[in-house]
Amino acid sequence: MSSPSVHGASLAVGDFEITHVRYGLYRWDGGALFGVVPKTLWSRKAAADDLNRIELAFNCYLVRTRDHTILIETGCGDKLDMRARARMDLPPDAEPLTSVIARHGFDPESIDIVINSHLHWDHCGGNTILTGGTHSGPARPAFPRARYVASRPEWEHAHERLARDGISYIDTNYDPLVESGQMALVEGDYEVAPDIWMRRAPGHNRDMMVITVASGGETFCFLSDLVPTEAHVQPTWVAAFDLCPLECIESKTRWLTAAAEGAWQCAFGHDAKMPFARILPDPKTGFTAAPL
């Protein structure tokens, strides 16, 4: 697997500093990522291997303000079995996110807020660590000092375990934190810390949140799986696993218009090569992304 050298890129947003923490590269079926878009088109953007998989990343971001160190997303974590990990071209054992963060030069103990855009396993898997060795035992918080924040309607949906998307949820990633009171479940748009917001952006699923960080007239926006990779800035390029495709097109158009007009610095849930991007209007495709 290739390893692009985008690891730990940082940028300033007003008085805040944002650092990209890539919690591993993996491979996933390209058809699942691009839905009805023909492979003849998407393969120009993302090369597929002989199993039709494209390279993706678990993108997390650290936001440092004067008063807080905030982690957005915690990636895949340690709950998947070896077969699932092999299918995704992941190493058999997961490195704890805390050591990935330490390698970036940050003390994981300094993290006082953890935000999950939604509760799919690939966004909150590093919230907790299994204490029984490989893939077993009770889960303990990976960030004991932190207040975790997620959407209550999303958490309720996770427990519905519907046939279509029940497989996306692993309860040990969040329920121990909810039970201990360490995870706050919030209704709708919510200001996590001054000028740092979670805002509902339906499409990928009903209650996924995008995260905006504003300071000194500048804005950073983590688009999560509303726009999983740079290729998905074209509003109609919707993943096959997005639960509400029409709403996804609508939400994407709304958020990317704001991002382009405001010259926001944006980030995608799973892009392996572009940790930060500017969104530009495009007469043909709606939008394009330019690396920052």
> Interface with Zn ion by CB under 5 A: which residues?
122, 225, 269
Find out whether 196 and 147 touch, Cβ atoms under 8 Å: no
Which amino acid is present at 157? H
Shortest distance, position 217 Cβ to Zn ion, whole Å: 30
Structure tokens at 256: 């990317």
Shortest distance, position 120 Cβ to Zn ion, whole Å: 5
Q: Which CB sits closer to Zn ion, 111 or 208? A: 208
Find out whether 4 and 273 touch, Cβ atoms under 8 Å: yes
Q: What are the backbone angles phi and psi of residue 204, rounded to the nearest 5°? A: -55, -50
Q: Which CB sits closer to Zn ion, 128 or 168? A: 168
Shortest distance, position 152 Cβ to Zn ion, whole Å: 20
**Token pair 């610095």 in the structure block, residue:** 265
Q: What are the backbone angles phi and psi of residue 22, rounded to the nearest 5°? A: -90, 115
Shortest distance, position 66 Cβ to Zn ion, whole Å: 31
Q: Which CB sits closer to Zn ion, 37 or 124? A: 124
Q: Which CB sits closer to Zn ion, 214 or 274? A: 274
Shortest distance, position 106 Cβ to Zn ion, whole Å: 23
Shortest distance, position 145 Cβ to Zn ion, whole Å: 26
Rounded Cα distance, 53 and 31, in Å: 8
Please, is 131 exposed, middle or buried when counting C-beta atoms within 10 Å of its C-beta (0-12, 13-18, 19+)? exposed
Q: Which CB sits closer to Zn ion, 76 or 260? A: 76
Please, is 239 exposed, middle or buried when counting C-beta atoms within 10 Å of its C-beta (0-12, 13-18, 19+)? buried
Q: Which CB sits closer to Zn ion, 122 or 207? A: 122
Find out whether 113 and 190 touch, Cβ atoms under 8 Å: no
